Chains A and B, each alone.
Chain A
């Protein structure tokens, strides 16, 4: 199979999550929805159920307007809309975090509006550098583990958790490898297809996704990289999966050489230790996470991390995909901008919204940015 055909497979999955959900349900599998960010998917996986990412959809919001004012981000508006419309029926539960103020409301509104799909809260600590914070998280994960046992009807043993951690680490590793591959083959792997490959992972059994991505990487082995005369950028933000928007990058010969997107590489940044008590290891991984707008503290500030990504990947600039009404990102932006300005790295801010399909204004900005970077 050619690499183009392989990539079409990822596209088919990424653009039709409901089909995937129905597929798993038809196989007699139970599926658990996972809101952004840092849900302990390994625990779900260890119970034999499928973790299924829910990071919004490009759909019209109507029923969710009964619950949210207009200034809650599109990811959470459309997630609730999907729940209220019954588009996620079949899920056996949904994990919702409280990592921002809107997520706190999301869990409460979900519980009230979508009673057919149980809301399972994921309460992360923010004092992550202290042992007390870590132990608090271990206790939260223990509660989630019990809930997963109850829903799946299966006892989760330590070896099940270890096996799940191993698969998830393999997934992180292969996705990091893929991100690098995409930076070498920008003519073959456009921004849009790069995103299909990553996004499809949210709707698949991770072991299956690892296999498919590995095969894709191998298929590029003997293909020489074509000369690329375009612009090399690092992207950052919460999510950047709009096909129309990513197509604009392609039109302007912009290659994503690395990303710092929550929905993309941020998920693959830190591995889980395969030694020791599994729940402790999972908690440690969260505590070791850094450079994320929804977390405070961490060993490297986000601006510095992006700067390093730019330098390491020889990028020409940074595109900040600002999710509309995402206050954690809005607080980070001036600090990131300052760090990048001081380092002489050009930045472009593009506002993204799940409810927007027409990015004509962004097209002009991206075009101009690309022209400036080419000079």
Chain B
């Protein structure tokens, strides 16, 4: 019990430190960047840059029920209700910083990678234009092929080094190949540790509650190239190992049903989801969203390839294989599918993807409508009815 608090506390503290570091850097006159969550962070760590991740900031505010006024403000300044709610929260925040419980410093430059979606490019380009700051951009186009070919690899690799040159000019900091190797080693260890944590859910019962992974992923997003993150994940791994050894899960209820969570986390309703899981004896043992940050590689080329294989950048066949592998590995009894209103690139293939999952595995699935940050797109009544129906189906 004591150890559980320790890992949880350590990880949370690391994320808090990350935000504090950025705020004090800004206060001390250092340049601070805003960065998309699957930008090759190895560049940032190697150059010793200070950045924050607006997607994580938006998610945190959404989980704390602070997103709604910011979404409203973004709409008031002309943005459509239809755009990504992470963007809405951030653009609202940028225009009118208020009394939020978590703050980020305003950026001096932007780091954007298109492997997550195209909306990020538009969102960041608007900020660059509004604030008259540079935007360093690495384009990783959507891959309609299963594998990453050399043409794509070369295009991205060139941009990787172009981005470094631009950053050296902007920040005055120097890039060092030896340091990159060291950062890659550490990042790889963090990625491996993150995947091992996730794989502990293969045990029956799973030694932890799946919704905890959504909480821990803040560290995997914001500080996945640092030794302290690796060490904190090792602490968690020890705890999980011990939990398995004594057969005592951190998930306090009887886990009757093992669930694959499909889609982006519905942050505004995370508590409700966790409560409903407990009510029906379900536990999330697999999630594609959290897996996105378990980036492993053995070389620079492999690292670049890994960034081309994040969930929204791959074709349908590969996306399906990711789900089938997860269902198989984690012995899932059902898939809970979140249609995030904000994320078109994810939601736009989910109907067919879910049908194929059912067809190939016989696993029951259930949809619910929600959103990664805008609480207006989540209906408690619909969710409750659907989850109850899901339970009835699995109960048989």
A-side residues, CB < 8 A to B, are 66-69, 71-72, 98-102, 104-109, 111-113, 121, 123-127, 130, 132-133, 135-136, 139-140, 293-294, 296-297, 301, 325, 327-328, 330-335, 337-338
Contacts and interface: CB of A to CB of B under 8 A. Distances in A.
A109 B352 contact: yes
Nearest to B74: A334
B139 A101 contact: no
Contact of B348 (A68, A334, A337): A68
Contacts of B193: none
9 contacts: A66-B352, A68-B351, A72-B344, A101-B344, A105-B348, A123-B144, A126-B118, A301-B129, A332-B122
Interface string B137-158: 1110111100000011011001
A331 B316 contact: no
Nearest to B91: A334
Given A126-B114, A296-B121, A331 B348 contact: no
B126 A327 contact: no
B347 interface: yes
B77 interface: yes
A219 B83 CA distance: 46
Contacts of B129: 301, 335
B84 interface: yes
Nearest to B316: A108
Please name the 4 residue pairs, one residue from A and one from B, whose CB atoms are nearest each other, closest first: A105-B348, A334-B78, A331-B122, A101-B345
A130 B138 CA distance: 11
Contacts of B139: 125-127, 133
Contacts of B118: 99-101, 104, 126, 294, 327-328
A367 to B, nearest CB: 23
A330 B80 contact: yes
B279 to A, nearest CB: 27
Given A101-B348, A331-B126, A337-B78, A132 B121 contact: no
Nearest to A112: B352
Contacts of A296: 121-122, 125, 137
A301 B78 CA distance: 18
B315 interface: yes
A187 B138 CA distance: 49
Contact of A98 (B119, B125, B141): B141
Contacts of A111: 316
B131 interface: no
Contact of A331 (B114, B119, B143, B158): B119
B12 interface: no
Contacts, number: 133
Given A71-B341, A101-B345, A126 B137 contact: yes
Contacts of A294: 118
Contacts of B347: 69, 71
Given A123-B141, A130-B159, A301-B129, A69 B351 contact: yes
Interface string B77-110: 1111011100000000000000000000000000
B122 A123 contact: no
B339 interface: yes
Interface in B152-181: 152, 154-155, 158-159, 162
B331 to A, nearest CB: 27
Contact of B344 (A105, A112, A135): A105
Interface in B327-345: 339, 341, 344-345
B78 A333 contact: yes
Contacts of A107: 144
Most buried by B among A98, A330, A332: A330
Contacts of B339: 69
Given A333-B80, A334-B77, A335-B126, A125 B141 contact: yes
Given A127-B159, A132-B154, A135-B155, A66 B84 contact: no
A335 B84 CA distance: 17
A113 B82 CA distance: 26
Nearest to B367: A69
B152 A136 contact: yes
Given A127-B137, A327-B83, A330-B79, A105 B349 contact: yes
B112 to A, nearest CB: 9
